[in-house]
Structure 1
């Protein structure tokens, strides 16, 4: 006898009772981009609804986020001055350290994650110190200044640090530095499997981080490599990461599931700028039912195994959930 699967689909309340995957506001981390100045809230043309904001506007934004039930943010800084080693990110009075202190003072109930990298802070747009001979990032020299940056973030009051540069050994380096500095309780959310993707374009507009030469393929992962992707995340787990991440999300759900099946750590996905921009453009031209597709996309992340979703859609999703 064939099974009648439709029995549990005919009534909407029963559909809700047997639903396997759910999305809540507790799943989300919302990205915010801070720059110096006052009264600045500049929308990014390639990312409608996403803004570069001065610190006073960031503090106002936190009020709005909390009204929607969103209490977790990840901060990216846009400094006034960039140099070869990203000095602003190593300074206790730099844009990120200042933003963390201000947010934690004004909104102590916000969970503040800091993106730890150098691409936004360097004049060359790469994720660390350049090895001139090979025209790529010097891995071990970058580890040294990454440790310095982590201590700056921790002293400012960051609740969690998220290194995104894909340097070999970064998690062990940061864990050792944080523990030695008395910050052993600060967790690390590793960008453990981050691909050299074409989906990042609009982010480089908002973060002003386009490389001045070459690309990041020598340190970010080849999109074609499945086994290596799993190994990258397992390596970061062994080094002491508290949360693993796959970035981008939508084109790599197979990788999310495979890593989830190979680790007991929480999994995050970064629903990146290109993914966001595509849905925004399709919705603008009435090519899709925008709200429905956004929610379907979020469900796909959770179904694949994500516990945490970093997404520019977070505010929109929160409003949908309140309806």
Structure 2
């Protein structure tokens, strides 16, 4: 059963038993689901005719000027940095995130003013994370993820208008939008339904691409989602101009706490250890990287960054002819700030040393909350 069939029966049970009856009986839920949830015909290559393997599709990975620049290796520069943004569905919100120093949740009305001076300083790319807060907006299927009026969809259109040269990456996941906080659709026993999750995730990726994302970056870690997204991009005729960046080696651990505070994406039960990689799982990481390359990824990512330099090195070895990205995650960023505040080391020195270590390991793209600082610290 595909997601397109599933949306016709929103009786899929939510795991918050205390709210189950009200969740299933909301009169607007069925219409909301049908309006917001998108479905494209197939996740198999039933209507796709391409010569060679799916990994032969290369044009999307270097169609944009910045993506072309990412094909080269260099010292730390502004162009290799991607700045994470938390986009609230409250238009005028600008709220400091206590666990993530100097970072905010911002609504659409605050985005342009925030980004204008950063773009003037040389900001080249941002990655968008939606933060839905409206009552009742989250459900078991994450139907708000590709709502045309949702925070990421609206932000993509807004930023394309105001900053035509800014490279826009859309993180693709359901955890911010599901009532259970997991990165996909669940079975009744609470386990991840990989097939339905992949169908849904690939629909969301397509919606973001059509809304203006230059790059879609699935972070859910469901098996097979890279191939499913690539096939739908091909079917839609946009694979030649949309970069597919895979969170290929994403490890479970305690370094995501500040991010989950910012995005409101903590699981309501259990954890994500059944789909995020186990710490120390180097062999699994290598297999996941190889798989995603074969499934058509244009860029492979390792997350967290500084604590997995060996995996970054592996990624560069396995994907020797493609860009490797590394996510300097919220916990890493917060710990560096805490150390600087305690006088253990200088903030600028530690930020440079940490980031340059990531580059030496083999990354050529860094997703970092230090990006605004680096725009001041770097000359080019």
**Normalised by the size of structure 1, how large is the TM-score?**
0.91
SS at match of 1:241: coil
Q: Label 1:42 to 1:76 Cα distance change in 2 as closer, same or farther (>3 A).
A: same
Deviation of the 1:39 alpha carbon: 2.7
Q: Is the 8 A contact 2:145 2:174 kept in 1?
A: yes
2:201 alignment counterpart: 146
How many residues get paired?
303
Structure 2: distance between partners of 1:111 and 1:313: 18
Aligned match of 2:58: none
1:246 equivalent in alignment to 2:311: no
Structure 1 contact 35–77 (Cα < 8 Å) conserved: yes
Following the alignment from structure 1 to structure 2, what is the Cα–Cα distance between the partners of residues 142 and 53?
28
Between 26-35 and 258-267, the greater mean CA deviation after superposition: 258-267
Counterpart secondary structure, 1:131: coil
Q: Write out aligned runs for 1:295-314 (5 A).
A: 295-314=352-371
One of 9, 25, 41 as aligned partner of 2:94: 41
Distance of 1:40 and 1:154 partners within structure 2: 26
For the residues of structure 2 that align with 1:261 and 1:71, how far apart are their CA atoms? 27
Alignment partners' CA distance in 2, 1:310 and 1:90: 23
Q: Equivalent of 1:218, from 262, 269, 274?
A: 274
SS at match of 1:192: strand
1:21, distance to aligned residue in structure 2 (A):
6.6
Stretches of structure 2 lacking an aligned partner (at least 5 in a row): 1-72
Q: Which residue of 1 aligns with 2:128?
A: 75
Instruction: Check conservation: 1:74, 1:113, Cα contact below 8 A.
Output: yes
In the aligned structure 2, how far is the partner of 1:21 from the partner of 1:245?
Answer: 18
1:156-235 matches, within 5 Å, as 156-185=211-240, 186-235=242-291
1:88 equivalent among 134, 144, 148: 144
Q: Deviations over 1:129-185 (max 9, x none)?
A: 11122x222110011111211121011111000000000000000000111112112
1:190-213 deviation per Cα after TM superposition (whole angstroms, max 9, x unaligned)? 000100121111100000100000
Unaligned runs of 5+ in 1: 1-19
CA shift for structure 1 position 22: 2.1
- Contact 1:76-1:115 at 8 Å conserved across structures: yes
Q: CA deviation at 1:64?
A: 2.1
Deviation at residue 40 of structure 1 after TM alignment: 1.6
- Alpha-carbon distance between aligned partners in 2 of 1:294 and 1:287, rounded to the nearest angstrom: 13
Render the CA deviation track for 1:109-136: whole Å, top value 9, x for unaligned. Answer: 1110000000011111100111122x22
Question: Is the 8 Å Cα contact of residues 250 and 304 (structure 2) preserved in structure 1?
Answer: yes
**Cα deviation, residue 37, structure 1:** 2.5
Matching residue within 343, 348, 354 for 1:291: 348
